[in-house]
Amino acid sequence: MISKLHYITQDLAHKTHAEQTEAACAGGVDWVQLRVKNQTDERVLEIALEVKRICDAHGATLIINDRVRVAKEVGAHGVHLGKTDMPSKEARRVLGAGFIIGGTANTLDDIRALEQAGVDYIGLGPFRFTETKKNLSPVLGLEGYRNILGGGVSVPVVAIGGIKHGDITAVMEAGPHGVALSSLINLAENPSASAKKVLDILAGKTA
Ligand SMILES: Cc1ncc(COP(=O)(O)OP(=O)(O)O)c(N)n1
Ligand SMILES: Cc1nc(C(=O)O)sc1CCOP(=O)(O)O
Ligand SMILES: [Mg+2]
């Protein structure tokens, strides 16, 4: 099952990906995307092995960003691929039917192409400007999500990009299956509490 909260690690000078993952999982996160930029596959594999141990201890799903070879070698549950990464059809040939493959979309045309390619979920963004990713596509805002998702999509879609606690209820009302978040959790004073707050909002326990 595709989680409603896709937690994503990020490159930070003061905190390792393993430390970030431990804090997020302590807050209840059950879906972790390891997102390491500008490192060799060998280094990402080392980090992924560490993060996999933490995910396994918490029963969390592990998705590797960008790197199909690393995802396979570490025994992750899945991989997330954007427009400049390996095409998802090719990744499916490499990884097989049971592997989770996620794809990035910025438009309805992107979504239709990913549906055809057989991905398991789609990250649709950006909701708003964010420092976490370079070369962002134009922001969608609530209106963008309403327009794109209004006609129905056959694959679970998670909204991504600059989402804060106060946005989540309105974003979910625009129609996605869930949300994907990075800095809201990683840069919080208390990342576990920030993650728990997201989960409480998604569960309708608080606004
Ligand atoms: C859930 C989710 N959605 C979108 C992205 C972005 O992927 P991509 O476009 O490949 O950009 P990078 O993350 O690789 O910089 C994502 N990672 N996760
Ligand atoms: C990784 C990523 N992809 C995006 C897209 O629009 O495709 S926005 C984004 C960054 C998500 O991090 P934060 O929650 O800190 O903004
Ligand atoms: Mg990518």
Give ipTM to 2 decimals.
0.99
User: Which residue has its alpha carbon closest to ligand 2 atom 9?
Assistant: 161
pLDDT at 205: 87
Distance (Å, whole) CA 181 – CA 132: 10
Cα dihedral value 114, 1, 146, 203, nearest 10: -160
Q: Which residue reads 């794109």 in tokens?
A: 148
User: Which residue has its alpha carbon closest to ligand 1 atom 1?
Assistant: 123
- What number does the ligand 2 atom closest to the CA of 160 have? 8
pLDDT at 151: 86
User: Domain 5-202 is classified in which CATH homologous superfamily?
Assistant: Aldolase class I (3.20.20.70)
Distance (Å, whole) CA 157 – CA 140: 14
| Model confidence pLDDT, tens digit, residues 87-123 | 999 999 999 999 999 999 999 999 999 999 999 999 9
pLDDT at 117: 95
Cα dihedral value 117, 55, 129, 115, nearest 10: 10
Question: Pocket around ligand 1: residues whose beta carbon is below 6 Å from it?
Answer: 6, 33, 35, 65-66, 80, 82, 85, 102, 104, 123, 125, 133, 158, 160, 180
Q: What is the pLDDT along the chain (207 residues), one digit of tens a residue?
A: 999 999 999 999 999 999 999 999 999 999 999 999 999 999 999 999 999 999 999 999 999 999 999 999 999 999 999 999 999 999 999 999 999 999 999 999 999 999 999 999 999 999 999 999 999 999 999 999 999 999 899 999 999 999 999 999 999 999 999 999 999 999 999 999 999 999 999 999 877
Instruction: Name the nearest CA neighbour of 183 among 133, 109, 118.
Output: 133
